[in-house]
Amino acid sequence: MDKLFQIIKESKRVKTVVSLNELSQNRWSPRSFGEEEVEKEKLMSIMEAARWSASAFNEQPWRFIVGFKGDETFNKIVDSMVEFNQNWAKKAPVLILNICKNNFTHNNTVNDLAKYDVGQAVASYCLEAVNQGLSAHQMSGFDAKKANEAFNISEAYNSLSITALGYLGKPDALPEELFKVELQNRMRNQMDNIVFTDELKKTPFTL
């Protein structure tokens, strides 16, 4: 297993065209998690990273419901998932339901950036998870309405996504098709396909 872990570690570390911090280079989304419990201190550091994320008007529209494997909260989060995600995510030691507050507090108007800001907060805590020696996998495959009902979430809020969190597990414990995905190199668009100095697709930003 040590050799397999090393193969995965090497395949998932990104090959960047310019220098990049270690956390971003090593962040990826595994589906195989170990049975080790996540220390509460590490989880608090992860949530602290989310707490200090940026948001429009400092609204901080993010809310998180944390479930630990075996407890009622965890089971309710699992129940809201599509079957594909249930099959692997139920083995993670921690599941986090990511929720957004829909309106601004100061004037009760719709906050069009709420989802964007929750995404920033989740990205922040996922990087902190790497810093804490953990892995995180975000997913959208779940029934938000079912999650809202299970946790009695009012119309002022809405469930957006779920994150599985824990220590990297044995990839060969996954079904064969997922095991193959776990070994694949990470792929991204080239810089000149995503960054521009004027019109999209016509004026790429290049080194």
pLDDT at 7 > cutoff 60 = no
The reported pLDDT for the residue numbered 123 is 98
What are the tens digits of pLDDT across the range 72-81? 999 999 999 9
What are the tens digits of pLDDT across the range 15-74? 777 888 889 888 888 999 999 999 999 999 999 999 999 999 999 999 999 999 999 999
The reported pLDDT for the residue numbered 3 is 62
The answer to whether the beta carbons of residues 97 and 171 sit under 8 Å apart is: no
Q: Mean pLDDT check: name the lowest of 5-9, 71-75, 190-194.
A: 5-9
Domain ranges of the chain: 28-193
Q: In what order do the strands lie in the sheet with 135-139?
A: 62-68, 94-101, 157-166, 135-139
The reported pLDDT for the residue numbered 11 is 62
Measured in residues, the chain has a length of 207
Which are the contacts of 21, defined by CB distance < 8 A and separation ≥ 6? none
What are the tens digits of pLDDT across the range 76-123? 999 999 999 999 999 999 999 999 999 999 999 999 999 999 999 999
| CB neighbours of residue 164 within 10 Å | 26
The reported pLDDT for the residue numbered 170 is 80
The reported pLDDT for the residue numbered 142 is 98
Q: Give the pLDDT band (50/70/90) at residue 13.
A: confident
**Mean pLDDT (whole number) for 165-175:** 84
- More confident: 203 or 124: 124
Domain 28-193, second-level architecture: 3-Layer(aba) Sandwich (3.40)
The answer to whether the beta carbons of residues 179 and 170 sit under 8 Å apart is: no
